[in-house]
Amino acid sequence: MSTAKKIILVRHGSLDKQYDGCYIGSTDLPLSNEGIREAEALGRFLKKSAIDCVYASPMLRARQTVESAFSSLPEIPVIYDDLLRETDFGAWEKLTFAQICEKYPDMIGPWNNRNYEFTFPGGGENVGNFYGRIRRIKQLLLDSEKANIAIISHGGIILNLISDILNIGQHKAWALKVDRGSVSTLSLFENGTGILNLLNFKPGGGF
């Protein structure tokens, strides 16, 4: 088997409790105090990982996670890339699933079926375009000369990137779980396949 790159997938820290259970995509929220503590715990854990470079979402919650986690590791280059932004849920932003079902019952089926033609209402992102971003992120990793790469991003990006690399189908992404403030790791081979080594580990504890 060919030499593998180590991919470290970090979901940003927690948000204010009022947003628990809500769909937060393009809404640019800061970390809560708990989220800052989680990011600091991530930093202590990541010190042991010999990271060569970091790719991160430019959204505020991801930036704050980077700043808190890597404040003691300034020599590691950080590249902010729009590819790593969370999906834009449009009019569904800041709604719970129950509220979405109540307000948009006819859209739940096409969304659950991962219809590539589906676009979130109110100017949100097209699902097919989102999956296109996932493929471009994987290609970015494959093209990189670095061997140990960290990605600081969002739940939707991380879950779908894992599913794509493992080739288990995008509909299986939501059978996995990555909490805010968690780390998952993959071995990524030259042919684009991979092995999942760690899923949803929270250095600061908790589930």
Q: Is residue 146 part of a domain?
A: yes
139-169 b/e (C-beta count within 10 Å ≥ 16 → b): ebbeebeeeebbbbbbbbbbbbbbbbbbeee
Active site residue 12: yes
Long-range contacts of 130-134 (CB under 8 A, 24+ apart): 130/87, 130/156, 130/160, 131/160, 131/170, 133/83, 133/157, 134/160, 134/161, 134/164
What is the tally of structural domains in the chain? 1
What pLDDT is recorded for position 206?
53
Q: Is residue 181 part of a domain?
A: yes
pTM for the whole structure: 0.94
Q: Is residue 206 part of a domain?
A: no
Partnered with residue 10 across adjacent β-strands are 152, 183
- For residues 154 and 62, is the Cβ–Cβ distance under 8 A? yes
Q: Is residue 207 part of a domain?
A: no
Active site residue 93: no
* Range list of H helices, the chain: 33-46, 60-69, 97-103, 108-112, 127-143, 155-166
Active-site residue identified among 12, 38, 40, 125: 12
What pLDDT is recorded for position 207?
47
Report the first-to-last Cα separation within the chain, whole angstroms: 34
Q: Is residue 14 part of a domain?
A: yes
What pLDDT is recorded for position 174?
84
Determine the structural domain holding residue 189 and report its residue range.
5-201
**CATH code for the domain in which residue 73 is found:** 3.40.50.1240
What pLDDT is recorded for position 128?
95
Active-site residue identified among 38, 40, 67, 86: 86
Q: What is the pLDDT along the chain (207 residues), one digit of tens a residue?
A: 568 999 999 999 999 999 999 999 999 999 999 999 999 999 999 988 899 999 999 999 999 999 999 887 768 899 999 999 999 999 999 999 999 999 999 999 988 887 889 999 999 999 999 999 999 999 999 999 999 999 999 999 999 999 999 999 888 888 899 999 999 999 999 999 999 999 999 997 654
